[in-house]
């Protein structure tokens, strides 16, 4: 009787009477199943979370690499932008008056109002306000003139070679003693000029 016929006649209820060869094969299969099951339970199942963690780290590292690669690829463009910003910043700093230039700038602002035909009723420099890198000098002003003259004054201030900004602007009609409007406007405004504090330790 060959092995195939013996396999067909095996009685699974009476394993003890199987031929030695089939006993060995059955034991081998059981051993393989136990080994595979043990490997999955004790090794593979415990390694899966580690594998998932490594995969997440790989995704993060890949994203970081791509971000840095993009920065490296655009390095020359960023350097050009930085140089442009530094040049613009330097040009703006040159528009800020030094401490010795402030009095002449105040005269320029006052002369701008007079040149526009305004009547200057108040020109009061206030206390300098220091910030981290610059200080600002506010000047409270009250001028009287026509709408066109006031417009010329504002344009003249904007056109000064030094930075001067206008704040808290209020306009009202000028009233004569009889209560009638004179046709002119009264403008209250605070003009601010700025001074860079680089040589003074940042305003400390």
Which pLDDT score is estimated for 187? 93
Do 75 and 146 meet the contact criterion of CB atoms below 8 Å apart? no
What's the CA gap between 66 and 60, in Å, rounded?
10
User: Which pLDDT value is given to residue 62?
Assistant: 85
Report pLDDT digits (tens) over 144-159.
Answer: 999 999 999 999 988 8
CB proximity list for 122: less than 8 A, separation 6 or greater: 140, 141, 142
For residues 192 and 84, give the distance between their C-alpha atoms in angstroms, rounded to a whole number.
27
Residue 203 pLDDT greater than 50, yes or no: no
Break the chain into its structural domains and give their ranges.
Answer: 1-73, 96-200
Q: What is the pTM of this model?
A: 0.49
Residue 40: beta bridge partners?
none
- Taking only the tens place, the pLDDT of each residue in 17-49 is 555 555 566 667 777 777 777 676 666 666 667
pLDDT value for 132: 75
CA distance 148 to 145: 8
CA neighbor of 162 nearest in space, from 139, 129, 130, 132: 139
> Residue length, the chain?
204
pLDDT digits (tens, 9 = 90+) for 68-98: 887 787 778 777 887 777 676 666 666 566 6
Element (H, E) at 167: strand 164-175
Higher confidence at residue 191 or residue 197? 191
What mean pLDDT is reported for the chain?
Answer: 77
Domain 96-200 belongs to what topology? Alpha-Beta Plaits (3.30.70)
The predicted model gives 57-61 an average pLDDT of 87
pLDDT of residue 120: 92
Q: What is the pLDDT of residues 105-153, one digit of tens each?
A: 888 889 999 999 999 999 999 998 887 777 888 999 999 999 999 999 9
Contact indicator for 109, 191 with CB cutoff of 8 Å: yes
pLDDT confidence of residue 152: 93
Instruction: Quickly state the pLDDT bin for 164 (edges 50, 70, 90).
Output: confident
Average pLDDT over residues 46-61: 78
């Amino acid at each position: 009787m060959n092995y195939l016929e013996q396999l067909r006649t095996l009685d699974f209820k009476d394993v003890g009477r199987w031929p030695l060869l089939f006993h060995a094969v059955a034991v081998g299969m059981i051993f393989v199943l136990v080994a595979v099951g043990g490997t999955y339970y004790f090794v593979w199942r415990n390694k899966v979370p580690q594998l998932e963690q490594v995969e997440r780290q790989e995704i993060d590292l890949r994203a970081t690499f791509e971000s840095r690669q993009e920065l490296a690829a655009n390095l020359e463009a960023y350097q050009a932008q930085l140089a442009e910003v530094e040049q613009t910043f330097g040009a703006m700093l040159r528009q800020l008056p030094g401490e010795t230039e402030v009095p002449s700038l105040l005269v320029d602002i006052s002369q701008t109002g007079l040149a526009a035909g305004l009547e200057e009723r108040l020109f009061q420099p206030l206390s300098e306000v220091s910030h981290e890198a610059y200080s600002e000098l506010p000047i409270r002003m009250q001028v009287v003139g026509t709408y066109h003259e006031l417009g010329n004054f504002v344009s003249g201030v904007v056109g000064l070679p030094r930075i001067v900004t206008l704040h808290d602007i209020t306009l009202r009609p000028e009233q004569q003693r009889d209560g009638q409007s004179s046709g002119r406007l009264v403008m209250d405004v605070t003009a601010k000029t700025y001074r860079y504090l680089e040589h003074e330790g940042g305003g400390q």
